[in-house]
Chain A
Amino acid sequence: GENVEQHPSTLSVQEGDSAVIKCTYSDSASNYFPWYKQELGKGPQLIIDIRSNVGEKKDQRIAVTLNKTAKHFSLHITETQPEDSAVYFCAASLAGNQFYFGTGTSLTVIP
């Protein structure tokens, strides 16, 4: 089955700086890659996603890039704010079927 690795496990940045989280996947058939943000006491919230026919997608301060050849994708958060502090998960899926999640990155934005 699919194997998703996520790095780093923890990340601290100063407010206003950028944060980058990276994931790799093993199954070249995977074609859907969502990112989730999980705040304390809540379920994961879908924040952005990308499909394999697209190399980059942006939504305000958040962007995701995908390199199909290298089988890795990354989440980029610019101009970080304290409310961005949370645990972020990447995932890989084949057409929305069974999702495989990374182990999570705990992001702390220092005011």
Chain B
Amino acid sequence: KAGVTQTPRYLIKTRGQQVTLSCSPISGHRSVSWYQQTPGQGLQFLFEYFSETQRNKGNFPGRFSGRQFSNSRSEMNVSTLELGDSALYLCASSLQGSLSYEQYFGPGTRLTVT
């Protein structure tokens, strides 16, 4: 079974621009979560989507948004990029059944804002 895939793997953007990242979960998984990873802050939860609905949200500004499609693929968007948005953005998928809690990560998208 294919793992979680994220595109693009690397991205360089200029301050003020916007960016869209994509995540395809493991086949059959209905939940997709997004995380920001930086050396100083570690892994920080952005939001989680389940069946096209945002179910949980972390403490990030409204510039960070996401959505999930009917095939469970998810996108996250960051508008008006700031230098501090440079990070590894990870998505993770899970089955989210009553007996299945495991969450599996993709390889991440490395975003650099200049």
Contact = CB atoms under 8 A, between A and B. Distances in A.
Contacts, number: 56
Contact of B43 (A42, A49, A95, A101): A101
Interface size class of B (residues with CB under 8 A): 20 to 34
Most chain-B Cβ atoms within 10 A of its Cβ — which of A43, A44, A93, A102?
A43
A26 interface: no
Contact of A104 (B42, B56, B101): B42
Interface residues of A, number: 23
A42 B33 contact: no
B45 A98 contact: yes
B107 A43 contact: yes
Interface in B67-114: 90, 92, 94, 96, 100-108
Contact of B105 (A32, A44, A93): A44
Interface of A: 32, 34, 36, 41-46, 49, 51, 89, 93, 95-104
Given A34-B102, A99-B92, 15 more contacts: A34-B103, A36-B105, A44-B90, A46-B102, A46-B105, A49-B101, A89-B42, A89-B43, A93-B101, A97-B48, A98-B45, A99-B33, A99-B45, A101-B43, A103-B42
